[in-house]
Structure formats: structure tokens, C-alpha cells
Structure 1
Amino acid sequence: MFPSPLYAGETLFNSGAAIKEELGRLGSEGKLFLKAPVDPYLVQTGAAAGLFTVAYIFDKQLSSNGTHHGVLRGITDVGSDASNPFLHLGVAAAVYTAGAASGNDGVMELGEEMGEALVLADSATFVLKGAIGRGRPYQTESKSSFRPFQYRGGYDSLPSMHTASSFALAHVAASHSESFSAKLACYAAAGVAGFSRVYQGKHWASDVLVGAAIGELAGDAVTRYRALQPGKVSIAPMTIDGNPALALMGKF
């Protein structure tokens, strides 16, 4: 069976059908996201758990008091500001809007994927932050200070949402490029974001590792779901020998 068709020009701004399709797709991607640590990435999850354990052991040695100065401080200021999850959502919205306004389905789809990956990553980290309640480096000297489900200021360190958001965006952006250099640049930018959060004393290193894993899984869930689909179907008006007709367009 074909996916439910959308008429050419239908977007989230003018179509209830498009909104319904988006919500359904996000729900399906969410299921892939939740299953991903076990299926199909069980081995990778084990490796990530090992890295987290090592980072947790050395968190204190890797932590920073955030009082550095100089060029590196300036770079990490930019990295931290650029990794703001709200800024990323704005970027996704701007890309989608540009695609919708210009009628460019490729750009619009990129904006959709960015937004979906960010919603998954940010939602997961938001829930985990409150549930785990780990103290931030500037809040407590102990890496093992936890206040689960208390939602206290300064006790929302694990995982890093800035990092999760950055890696979710990096995965989607990289998936739309065939250039290795471009892919590397996407992940390098995300890596700078994570490093910045540790360097400025906002997170423990292990917080950043978990955030990166969540962001990568979120981006992967979105791109993997779309790769499994036959493609979108759209209906556009056309003429055949001067007679009005409809064209069914898509990839099958």
C-alpha cells in the first residue's frame, strides 16, 4: 500500500493531513529510538556503557571550574552558545520554513528531520535529567551527588541536553551530505559543543558522553525510519494534451 498522499504544496503550516502525518511519523521514530539501545545497537550500547564507566571514574580529574581565560575560553563560549537546544529548534524551523516557502521538498524534509531528531533527543534528556538528579560540577564537589526526582536547581547534570541536541543535529545534517569532510565538520562541531560544556564547568565528562549517545540515537532513529519507507507520495495538477489531470509523484 502507498503512504497517505499529500497534495503538492501541503505543509505543516496549511494542512491538517500534514500535521497528522508528522505526528504519526514522530511516534514511529520514537519507537525505533527507544528500542535502539537493544535492537540493533546492543554491542554499541555495551561499548558506550564501558566508556561511561571510565569517564565516571575520572570525572573529577576531567572536570573544570570554568574560570579559564584566553582563546580557548572564547572558543568554548561560542561552542556553548551555539549548542543551545532552543537555537537548534529555531534552526530546524527556519530550514523547514525556507523549504516550504520556496517549494523545495528536499530542504523542507531536512527541516523535518532536524526537528524530529531534536524533539526525541531533547525529550529524552529532559526526562532523564529530572529522574537522575545529578549535581552539576559548580553545584557540588562530588561527582556522585544525586537528588533523583527532586527537580532542584543545579541537580540536572546528567545527561547534557546541549550535547544531545548537537549530536542529533549533526547526525541528520551529515546524513544529507556525501562529502566526508562535511560529515566530519558536523561531528566536529558537535564535539566542540560537548567539550565546551565540560571546559566551562557546566557538566561532568560522563554527562556529555551520555548526551552524545542519546543525540546520535535520536538522529539515527529519524534517518533510519525514513530509509525504511518507500517514500512520500504527492498529488500535483498537470495537463495532458490540454486536458486537466493529476500526477502521482513519489519514489516507490
Structure 2
Amino acid sequence: MSSTLPLRQHTPGPRPSRIPSLIGFLSLLFLLLTTPLHAAENVFTSGKAVAEEAGRLAGETKLFLKGPVDPYLTETAVAATLFGVAYVFDEKIRDEFAGPHHGVMKGITNVGNAVSDPLLHLGVAAVFYGAGAATDNTKVMGLGEEMGEALLLADGTVFVLKGVIGRGRPYQVESSTSYRPLQYKGGYDSLPSMHTASTFALAHVLSSRTDSIAGKLAWYGGAGLVAFSRVYQTKHWASDVVLAAAIGELAGATVGRYRSLAPGGVTIAPLSIEGTPAVAVVGKF
């Protein structure tokens, strides 16, 4: 598909501030320095905790890699269809948002871009984990742990795919089918969007800890705003954020699935064997 849009020279704006991420890491450092001796066992003070975390990440990675086929084959088919549709209309969508941005929409999407920084997300996860460790609050520490694991899965996957695929950014190239795979060129790291994947991974973890429907909608509404912001400001093609959202959602779901199958956690399920009532004990031992 061709486009009549002239190739634009992209003038980089001011680099996003790293201050929020820096504040997060400094806060974590303060918490670690003031951690009481009775704090919960954690990766900062225990080799056993480090080994357990490594084991969890390995197990989650296996589930993550199998996830698109087992058990999320239907969801994968839906995501692939949405990606294909977005891919067809990528250039038209880019052209629709081309030109100067101003007013309320610019302000809203600036906020969406600012809060989607993957480094900021990792900083937030680290602060939650450190705060839980410092106060002996295993629930808070567990939340930080889940966020961190989901982010590592999502961001790590996107980082690899960006370089392998090498798709040109919408501000860099005229055609949405411009690729330089395995060349790691600046401006050719569009597919998928790390900001979007990171945000959806967080949204899944946080929504799973939220009981109200309104709260869940708020988390995913924020993630949707981030995806829209990346496209509206022509930092990504529409199909970039569709794939990224699927990756982030899979990462968050994988962490939850792994923990539901943690050793010692079992589920009792009714079944029938040749007409005789029975129960099955399902879990990971």
C-alpha cells in the first residue's frame, strides 16, 4: 500500500525526563538502607530468595513461550486478526494523525507517553518490592515481585523482537512495510512498542489485584491511552501497539498462572470415572 504523505524529517523533541525513575530508585535505596532486621526474606538479603526468584522467572518464561498456543490459542487468533487489520490500515492511520498537534489532545497524549516509560515502571515495581521488604509486608512485596516479573517478560520479549524485525518508525519512513531486520538501526525499532507492552503487563497485574469492575476498567483505560498516545504522536504504527498489548497481556497472565500453580497450591475439581463420582486434585507439586 502506498501513501502520498511526503517523508518527514523527524526532529527529536526534548528527551523524556528520567526524574520519576530516578526518584523511584532513590526511594528504593533509602528503603533498603533503613530495612529492619526482622524484614521479610527478600532478594536483597537472602541467597535463597534470589534462587527462588530465578526459578520463578525460568518457570514463567516456559509458560510464556507456550502461552500463545496453550492455553491462549483462541486469544492468539483474535490478536493476530486485529494485528492484520491494523497492519492494512497503518499508513492511513498515520496520515490521519500527521501534522502539528496542539490543544487538549496533545496534553492528554503527552501524559500518556510520560507515564508509559518502561524504566519508570521498573522503578515503581522496585519501590513496591523494597517497601514490602522493609516493612515486613509480604503482600506489598509480592505485588512488586509480580509487577517486576511481568515487566521483565514483556520488556525482554519486545527488546529482542525490535532488533530482529527492524521495522521503520512512522516518522522515519514513508511506507509501513520498510524493514531493516537484524541491523539494529536507529529509527528501525518500531515493532512492537515497548511502552505499550510494559503498560499492559502492569495493567494486568494491577487489575488482578483489584476487585471492582471500575478499578479494572481504569487500569486498562490507562493502558489504552498509552497505546493511543504512541500512535497519535506517530511514534508507532497502529499494528505495533496491537502486538505490544498482546505481549504485555500475555506476560501479566503468565505470572498469575504460574503463581496459581505454585507448589502447595491445589484445586479440587469434581469428575466422574465410569459413572462413579470422584474428585481430582489439580496443582503443581
The separation in 2 between residues aligned to 1:77 and 1:163, in whole angstroms, is 14
Q: Distance in 1 between matches of 2:255 and 2:99?
A: 35
Residue 261 of structure 2 corresponds to residue 228 of structure 1: yes
Opposite residue 50 of structure 1, the aligned amino acid is T
Alignment of 1:136-175 (within 5 A): 136-175=169-208
Give the CA deviation at 1:66. 6.1
Higher relative contact order (CA 8 A, sep 6+): 1
Aligned residue for 1:123? Answer: 156
Task: Supply the AA of the counterpart residue of 2:124.
Answer: V
Distance 2:40 2:264 in 1: 17
**Aligned length, in residue pairs:** 227
- Corresponding residue for residue 55 of structure 1: 86
Equivalent of residue 43 in structure 1, options 74, 87, 95: 74
Alignment of 1:210 onto 2:224:
no
* Counterparts of 2:120 and 2:77, CA distance in 1: 32
From 42, 64, 87, give the equivalent of 1:11: 42
- What's the TM-score, normalizing by structure 1? 0.87
Structure 2 unaligned regions, length at least 5:
1-37, 266-284
- TM-superposed CA distance for 1:97, in Å, is 0.9
Q: Could you tell me how far apart the structure 1 residues matched to 2:169 and 2:110 are?
A: 18
Alpha-carbon shift at residue 23 of structure 1 (Å): 0.6
CA distance in 1, matches of 2:78, 2:55: 32
CA–CA separation in structure 1 for the residues paired with 2:39 and 2:58: 24
Residue 33 (structure 1) aligns with: 64
Q: Which runs of 4+ in 1 moved over 4 A?
A: none
**1:128 Cα shift?**
0.3
- Distance, in Å, in 2 between the alignment partners of 1:114 and 1:151 is 28
Among the aligned pairs, what percent are the same residue? 65
User: What's the C-alpha RMSD, in Å, of the aligned pairs?
Assistant: 1.5
The amino acid that maps onto 1:128 is L
1:103-114 correspondence to structure 2 within 5 Å: 103-114=136-147
Amino acid at match of 2:197: A
Post-superposition CA distance 1:178-223 (Å, at most 9, x none): 1111111110000000000000110000000000000000000001
Q: Calculate the TM-score normalised by the size of structure 2.
A: 0.77
- 1:120-151 Cα offsets, whole Å, 9 max, x none, are 00000000000000000000010000000000
In the alignment, structure 1 segments of 5+ residues that lack a partner are 1-6, 233-251
* Counterpart check, 1:78 vs 2:111: yes
